[in-house]
């Protein structure tokens, strides 16, 4: 059955048109990822309108090409001009730029490209193996569990989104509120239409998403009149030849670092709302801690390029695992992909892999293929990147602003969507300037209707609140939500305040409770392991005299901006 599905998926993808579209998508992603200020999410968002007329597998394969390309594109500008193309490549700049300035730009690029490739392949293997298993667990979920999972996705997004947790939570709740505008999906009753017939239909979430994210991002990029008129090349020299052979050997010699960083990438991606912005910093941090020569980090050290680049590409696989197995977007990019699936009447849920196995396997295969395409096309994209960097920022921004309008019109062929884009462009820009993170709001808009649906189903079964605490998975996610609310404070106060010492042991001990409540043997045993780990940490703290370690405060603060 699996072989049959794989063959059918290959048949869907192995057409010249699909491969050409994937190649174009990968190059577009590489270029977009390389331009500072143009994020991967924006590149994927802008690709979306082109995919409306394509079959689902072809459209998603193109978007995956952009996604993988974008994750690798950031390294080009990070290494060559010292400005990370995307937040996913921030840590790559720490060692990539010094190596390039030290006279080895080709090797630095090669290390980045090969680390991205291997990181992508490792995460593709994990995607194929873990997604079906996680989906099997997802099938056990009942309405209470689903609702709690969505609440966890929103609270973790809010806590990772910036300095101010309250602003993140307000943004998430505002996103949920925006999703309620228009007819409700359960009873078909109009809400918050303020007498307007157009608002009765509600907002399609893609114009909202593009307005909030892409439109507002573009205007932020050209806010400074002088910077808007500058081309990228004015900030540095951009030319190099990638040293593939030498770099590939060096990356493979760093195999422990490579595998560890890839795993960090995948598991960060699995976490709802946490993406490559976090994973590249986390992997860099861990590589430095584990290195025999930590003092060399920041001076152009190969390990410092391998870790963040393998981690950020591996995050894509993790984000796809959550989307495909649970129907919850792992980050903004997968939120857009979720939207693309909905356009094609495919509803991501735990039964997605079993209901539409050919499409699921097509996504798996496309992810593999995209990593190979990225490797092959990176050298060509580098030349294109050199050309693009000669274009002034305001020219790119003006064309893309117009394109946003044309693309969004193509979604439903109604001008109302263009107005939605415009108004939410203003909302997004104002929110950015006032320090409100956009990621929680976008997740709120995407997940709002799903959350209401599951809550409605839960209340239809029982009007009691207790099932939220008696169902193990629901309790599991509620505990995670509560702890995620304190995660922001934990990050800022660790190494200084005593309470932060108990954060991890308390989390592990609390999570063991729902694990003990689960049926079978494995999960209660896992609960025991969590409890034992918690006891061990408490014992270590006791031996240390309950003293905070000031070196903990030096770690990077994780934010998914």
- Residues near other proteins (CB under 8 A) are 49-50, 52-53, 166-167, 169-170, 173-174, 176-177, 180, 184, 186-187, 189-192, 194, 218-219, 222-225, 228-229, 392, 394-395, 397-399, 401-403, 405-406, 409-410, 413, 415, 418-419, 422, 425-426, 429, 434, 452, 455-456, 459-460
The answer to whether residues 439 and 157 touch, using CB atoms and an 8 Å cutoff, is: yes
Which pair of tokens denotes residue 342?
A: 């909905």
Q: Nearest Cα to 308, choosing from 32, 66, 556, 39?
A: 556
- Tokens 């990968």 map to which residue? 26
Alpha helices in 37-104 (DSSP H): 40-51, 56-80, 90-101
Shortest Å, Cβ 17 to other proteins: 12
> 422 or 469, CB closer to other proteins?
422
> 344 or 392, CB closer to other proteins?
392
Q: Which residues contact 93 (CB under 8 A, 6 or more apart)?
A: 78, 79, 82, 83, 84
> 127 or 150, CB closer to other proteins?
150
Cα 141 from Cα 147, distance rounded (Å): 10
Shortest Å, Cβ 52 to other proteins: 7
> 184 or 347, CB closer to other proteins?
184
In our burial notation (b when 16+ CB lie closer than 10 A, e otherwise), range 8-31 reads bbeebbeeeebeebbbbbbbbbbb
Shortest Å, Cβ 174 to other proteins: 7
At 465, phi and psi to the nearest 5? -90, -15
Shortest Å, Cβ 279 to other proteins: 29
- Tokens 């990638």 map to which residue? 242
Q: Which residues contact 80 (CB under 8 A, 6 or more apart)?
A: 97, 100, 105, 109, 236, 237, 238, 239, 240
The answer to whether residues 321 and 130 touch, using CB atoms and an 8 Å cutoff, is: yes
Shortest Å, Cβ 206 to other proteins: 15
Which pair of tokens denotes residue 169?
A: 């939570």
> 191 or 289, CB closer to other proteins?
191
Shortest Å, Cβ 511 to other proteins: 25
Q: CA angle, corner 410, sides to 348 and 173, nearest 5? A: 50
Strand partners, 231: 392
Shortest Å, Cβ 136 to other proteins: 29
Cα 88 from Cα 96, distance rounded (Å): 14
> 456 or 493, CB closer to other proteins?
456
The answer to whether residues 28 and 329 touch, using CB atoms and an 8 Å cutoff, is: no
> 11 or 180, CB closer to other proteins?
180
Shortest Å, Cβ 458 to other proteins: 9
> 187 or 466, CB closer to other proteins?
187
Cα 210 from Cα 217, distance rounded (Å): 10
Cβ neighbourhood burial of 406 (10 Å; 0-12, 13-18, 19+): exposed
Shortest Å, Cβ 339 to other proteins: 18
> 184 or 233, CB closer to other proteins?
184
Shortest Å, Cβ 451 to other proteins: 8
Shortest Å, Cβ 454 to other proteins: 11
Chain centroid offset of residue 342 CA: 19
Shortest Å, Cβ 49 to other proteins: 8
Strand partners, 106: none
> 50 or 263, CB closer to other proteins?
50
The answer to whether residues 305 and 357 touch, using CB atoms and an 8 Å cutoff, is: no
Q: Nearest Cα to 288, choosing from 257, 248, 320, 334?
A: 257
> 153 or 358, CB closer to other proteins?
153
Within 10 angstroms of residue 547's Cβ, the number of other Cβ atoms is 9
Cα 357 from Cα 7, distance rounded (Å): 11
> 246 or 392, CB closer to other proteins?
392
């Amino acid at each position: 059955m699996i072989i049959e599905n794989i063959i059918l998926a290959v048949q869907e993808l192995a057409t010249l048109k699909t491969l050409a579209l994937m190649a174009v998508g990968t190059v577009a992603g590489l270029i977009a990822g390389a331009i500072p200020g143009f994020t991967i999410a924006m590149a994927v968002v802008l690709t979306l309108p082109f995919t409306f007329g394509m079959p689902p597998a072809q459209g998603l394969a193109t978007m995956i090409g952009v996604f993988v390309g974008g994750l690798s594109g950031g390294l080009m500008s990070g290494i060559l001009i010292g400005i990370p193309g995307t937040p996913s490549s921030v840590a790559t700049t720490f060692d990539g730029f010094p190596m390039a300035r030290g006279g080895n730009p080709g090797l630095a690029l090669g290390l980045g490209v090969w680390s991205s490739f291997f990181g992508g392949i490792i995460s593709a293997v994990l995607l194929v193996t873990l997604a079906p298993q996680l989906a099997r667990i997802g099938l056990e979920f009942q309405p209470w569990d689903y609702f709690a999972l969505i609440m966890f996705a929103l609270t973790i997004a809010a806590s990772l989104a910036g300095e101010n947790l309250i602003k993140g939570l307000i943004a998430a709740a505002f996103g949920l509120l925006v999703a309620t505008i228009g007819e409700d999906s359960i009873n078909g009753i109009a809400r918050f239409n303020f007498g307007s017939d157009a608002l009765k239909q509600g907002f399609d979430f893609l114009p909202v998403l593009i307005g909030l994210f892409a439109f507002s991002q573009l205007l932020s990029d050209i806010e400074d009149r002088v910077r808007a008129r500058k081309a990228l090349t004015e900030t540095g020299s951009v030319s190099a030849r990638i040293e593939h052979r030498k770099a590939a050997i060096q990356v493979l010699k760093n195999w422990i670092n490579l595998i560890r960083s890839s795993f960090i990438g995948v598991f960060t991606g699995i976490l709802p709302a946490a993406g490559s912005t976090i994973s590249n910093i986390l992997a860099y941090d861990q590589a430095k801690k584990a290195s025999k020569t930590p003092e060399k980090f920041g001076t152009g050290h190969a390990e410092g390029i391998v870790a963040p680049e393998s981690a950020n590409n591996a995050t894509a696989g993790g984000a796809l695992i959550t989307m495909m197995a649970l129907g919850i977007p792992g980050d903004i990019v997968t939120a857009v992909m979720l939207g693309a699936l909905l356009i094609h009447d495919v509803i991501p849920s735990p039964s997605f892999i079993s209901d539409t196995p050919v499409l699921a396997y097509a996504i798996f295969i496309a992810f593999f293929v995209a990593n190979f395409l990225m490797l092959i096309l990176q050298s060509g994209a580098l030349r294109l990147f050199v050309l693009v960097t000669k274009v002034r920022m305001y020219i790119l921004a003006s064309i893309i602003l117009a394109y946003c309008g044309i693309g969004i019109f193509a979604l439903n062929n109604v001008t109302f969507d263009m107005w939605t884009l415009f108004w939410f462009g203003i909302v997004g820009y104002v929110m950015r300037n006032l320090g409100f993170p956009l990621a929680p709001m976008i997740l709120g808009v995407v997940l709002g209707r799903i959350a209401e649906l599951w809550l409605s189903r839960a209340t239809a079964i029982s009007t009691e609140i207790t099932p939220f605490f008696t169902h193990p998975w629901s309790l599991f996610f509620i505990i995670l939500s509560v702890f995620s609310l304190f995660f922001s404070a934990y990050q800022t106060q660790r190494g200084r305040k005593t309470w932060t010492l108990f954060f991890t042991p308390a989390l592990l001990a609390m999570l063991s409770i729902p694990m003990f409540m689960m049926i079978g043997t494995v999960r209660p045993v896992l609960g025991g392991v969590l409890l034992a780990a918690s006891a061990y940490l408490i014992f270590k703290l006791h031996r240390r005299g309950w003293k905070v370690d000031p070196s903990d405060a030096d770690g990077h603060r994780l934010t998914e901006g």
